[in-house]
């Protein structure tokens, strides 16, 4: 059974999709993991980064996206779900002798619309709106969990909003990486996502949970090395577990956003950001919650 790693923050533009894809490439290349990236954001950036625009549009036309998967399989017993998955994606070349590969369950701009349709469909049977919402979320979580059978690691690229799929992903995750850019608004966003992950209502309840017990860790991204920035990070570390690994603002990371037709080595793709990605991979994949469970 796979481990589930979510990359989440209530803020957009903090590097969630970039980091989800970087960790997918790294886990396949360096840990030999069979990785599935599940794109839960209607912006579909992770999909575009892993297969490019043309293949993503083809998957949409064929009805092979995450929205189609939820819709088609909602009321049915599990069948072969591999039709929805694009295998061996990304623009990094992997060693033939290693099982490490990246697959993608493509994102869809229709995910939220489909969520609304499912809600409506099931409202007819059940009068309590809350109960229906819980039911739809629970079913989405089980449908997501189903993919755990065929992979070693499932990376959930979450949207900033609180769609059912996003909540189901946070519920399912063994571990959550929360990227942030150190600025004044980031503290507020981190508090909110932390309360969701730890399933508490107030900051006091959150504070009562030891950092070592928490299911998430924050990742400082886009650093420029200023003293002001260091101060903000130190402040955040008082309230939240923080990864030792950090990512600088880097042209190599920004460029990695663009999918290339020709496959490259990890070194060529991530350039001078490689040592940072190595440290991030080692720390996140080395976490006890993401280590492969003994068969
Ligand atoms: N460390 C970094 N250095 C340079 N640019 C970055 C870095 N991290 C993210 N970016 C850029 O920031 C933008 C937003 O990143 P993205 O991963 O789409 O964020 P999110 O998924 O949180 O919305 C993208 O253009 C991406 O290339
Ligand atoms: Mg994104």
**Mutate-to-test residue for ligand 1 from 9, 14, 18, 44, highest number of ligand atoms within 8 A of CB:** 18
Residue 229's domain comprises: 3-285
Which tokens go with 106?
Answer: 């493509």
Q: Is residue 192 part of a domain?
A: yes
pLDDT over 90 at 55, yes or no: yes
Largest CA distance in the chain: 58
Q: Is residue 21 part of a domain?
A: yes
Q: What is the pLDDT of residue 295?
A: 42
12 Cβ below 6 A of ligand 1: yes
Protein residue with its CA nearest to atom 23 in ligand 1: 13
Q: Is residue 291 part of a domain?
A: no
Per the listing, tokens 């508090």 go with: 191
Residue 293's pLDDT band (boundaries 50, 70, 90)? low
How many structural domains compose the chain?
1
Protein residue with its CA nearest to atom 5 in ligand 1: 254
Render pLDDT for 25-35 as a digit per residue (tens, 0 to 9): 999 999 999 99
Q: What is the pLDDT of residue 186?
A: 84
83 Cβ below 6 A of ligand 1: no
pLDDT over 80 at 77, yes or no: no
Render pLDDT for 214-269 as a digit per residue (tens, 0 to 9): 999 999 999 999 999 999 999 999 999 999 999 999 999 999 999 999 999 999 99
Average pLDDT of the chain is 93
Residue 234 Ramachandran class (φ > 0 left, ψ -120 to 50 alpha, else beta) = alpha
Q: What is the pLDDT of residue 78?
A: 62
Q: Is residue 159 part of a domain?
A: yes
User: Cα(21)–Cα(171) distance, rounded to whole angstroms?
Assistant: 21
Report yes or no: 236 and 182 within 8 Å, Cβ to Cβ. Answer: yes
Which tokens go with 208?
Answer: 């009562």
Report yes or no: 27 and 280 within 8 Å, Cβ to Cβ. Answer: no
Q: What distance in angstroms lies between residue 19's CA and the mean position of ligand 2's atoms?
A: 9
Q: Is residue 95 part of a domain?
A: yes
Render pLDDT for 125-137 as a digit per residue (tens, 0 to 9): 666 778 888 889 9
Q: What distance in angstroms lies between residue 191's CA and the mean position of ligand 1's atoms?
A: 21
- Measured distance between the N- and C-terminal CA atoms of the chain, rounded to whole angstroms: 8
Q: Is residue 290 part of a domain?
A: no
Q: What is the pLDDT of residue 132?
A: 87
- CATH number of the domain at 95, please: 3.40.50.300
Q: Is residue 294 part of a domain?
A: no
Q: Which ligand is nearest to the CA of 257?
A: 1
Q: What is the pLDDT of residue 294?
A: 47
This prediction has a pTM of 0.96
Q: What is the mean pLDDT of residues 139-148?
A: 94
């Amino acid at each position: 059974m796979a481990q589930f790693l979510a990359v989440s923050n209530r803020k957009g533009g903090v590097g969630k999709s970039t980091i989800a894809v970087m960790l997918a490439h790294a886990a396949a290349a360096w840990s030999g993991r069979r990785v599935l990236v599940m794109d839960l954001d209607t912006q579909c950036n992770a999909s575009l980064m892993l297969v490019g625009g043309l293949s993503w549009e083809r998957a949409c036309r064929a009805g092979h996206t995450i929205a189609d998967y939820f819709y088609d399989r909602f009321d049915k017993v599990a069948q072969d779900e591999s039709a929805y998955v694009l295998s061996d994606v990304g623009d990094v070349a992997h060693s033939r002798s290693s099982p490490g590969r990246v697959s993608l369950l493509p994102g869809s701009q229709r995910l939220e619309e489909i969520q609304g349709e499912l809600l409506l469909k099931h409202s007819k049977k059940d009068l309590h709106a809350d109960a229906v919402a819980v039911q739809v979320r629970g079913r989405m979580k089980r449908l997501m969990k189903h993919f755990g059978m065929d992979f070693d690691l499932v990376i959930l690229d979450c949207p900033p909003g609180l769609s059912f799929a996003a909540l189901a992903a946070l519920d399912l995750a063994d571990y959550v990486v929360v990227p942030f850019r150190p600025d004044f608004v980031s503290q507020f966003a981190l508090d909110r996502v932390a309360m969701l992950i730890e399933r508490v209502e107030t900051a006091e309840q959150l504070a009562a949970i030891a950092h070592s017990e928490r299911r998430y860790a924050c990742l400082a991204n886009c650093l420029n090395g200023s003293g002001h920035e260091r101060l903000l990070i130190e402040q955040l570390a008082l309230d939240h577990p923080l990864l030792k690994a950090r990512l600088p603002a880097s042209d190599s990371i920004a460029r990695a956003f663009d999918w290339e037709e020709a496959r490259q080595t990890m070194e060529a793709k991530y350039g001078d950001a490689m040592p940072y990605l190595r440290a991030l991979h080692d720390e996140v994949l080395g976490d006890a919650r993401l280590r492969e469970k003994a068969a």
